Amino acid sequence: MTVCDAISGPLAAGEAVRAFYHMGDHPHGYRYVRLIDDSEARSPEVADMNLMDGSRSALRTNSTSFVVGLSTGWIPATVHEGYDPDGGKSDVLVVLHGHFADAYHPDPEPVKNMFWRVQRRLVRPMGGGAPPPLELSLFVVRWWDYNIPQAVSRSHNVLHQGLLHDVLEASGSPHQAFGKQGTYEVYSAFVRGTADLCSLTTMPLTAMLQGQRLAALYFLWPTQRPAQERRYPGTVGAGELLILMEHMEATGVSTCWPHPVKLYRQLAGKLWASRLGLTAPNLRVPPTVEVTKAAFEADATSAAHGALLDLQNLRQEVHGGAASPLNEYRGVAKLGFSWQGEGVQPFVGIAGLVKALGRLLEGASAEAACLVQEKIEGVKCELR
């Protein structure tokens, strides 16, 4: 079979093929993935794919509450309606083999063998014309509810579907670069909470990624306060998310959204501001120190007193200028991994700082930490 026949020739009804599936092409906007645990759904005519499917079907998701599977990539299929190159159509109606599920639009049970229309160039007969080599494999972790109309701030809100579209499918995206040729794949995990991240960490996820380059994207809000997980959609435990990111990076899957885990820990945890040393004045960052939950719980007054002494020293020795007396010191306490100004408390003096830290660290995870920072007076606005 010639390359031209493989990508544009006629196809007969019932013919075994591979078809390039893309979750984002659903006519009603649903997000079906081909479930990973798919050993029962292999079509008999795909013996040459058994090796690849064998590694993927080893992943078990029956005990989890979330949906994880292939959302973009090549899937064994059968032609449902014959295709004639001279018939005036550019797509082919196929039956995709496997079990499919949508986290937001749950069916009574996973859909078996789903009908789908695929562009002819992305349908390859099983007898020849193998799919092109995959240049890229993506692992995407996102919130299960993708239909939140009130979600705003497309530029940074992980619940805004416009953001995910911009990153994954719009101009300059992986889909634009590799989708037309079918040279990439995406596995998506639609999680419902922190426990799902723990389950993902135990799965041999890297084994299923077949691309020459491997990358992961995480569209979630990490927090150090478990109560926030019940209050705000898209929020998960910071520690568990970082562990998953570290695990994936250690097995060869680079983080390309939001940042590699070491950098993300510093940025989202707000730790960077207290670790600038002598460069802080040049960057116009006010004196900042870190107070851990462990230190605060051991002796709250001593932790607050020590933090203010350190701030006074930073003001005098690094930033220059006179420091305010301890009982008049005006500052701000900030909880790491908090969002939209939610974890910020102003204070005055040692007693005020003890109170502010108590509010922020109450119910926080054991590894939580707060920044204590000299307050900048007369602020009119803040860049985000």
Q: What is the pLDDT of residue 47?
A: 36
pTM of the model: 0.89
Q: What is the pLDDT of residue 5?
A: 61
Q: Which residues of the chain are modeled with pLDDT < 70?
A: 1-5, 37-65, 383-384
Q: What is the pLDDT of residue 384?
A: 63
Q: Which two tokens stand for residue 61?
A: 């998701």
Amino acid letter, 227: A
Residue 356 CB neighbour total at 10 angstroms: 23
Query: Phi and psi at residue 333, in whole multiples of 5°?
Result: -105, 135
Q: How far apart are the first and last CA of the chain?
A: 56
Q: What is the pLDDT of residue 266?
A: 95
**Share of residues in the chain with pLDDT > 70 (%):** 90
Q: What is the pLDDT of residue 13?
A: 96
Q: What is the pLDDT of residue 86?
A: 87
d(CA 41, CA 98): 5
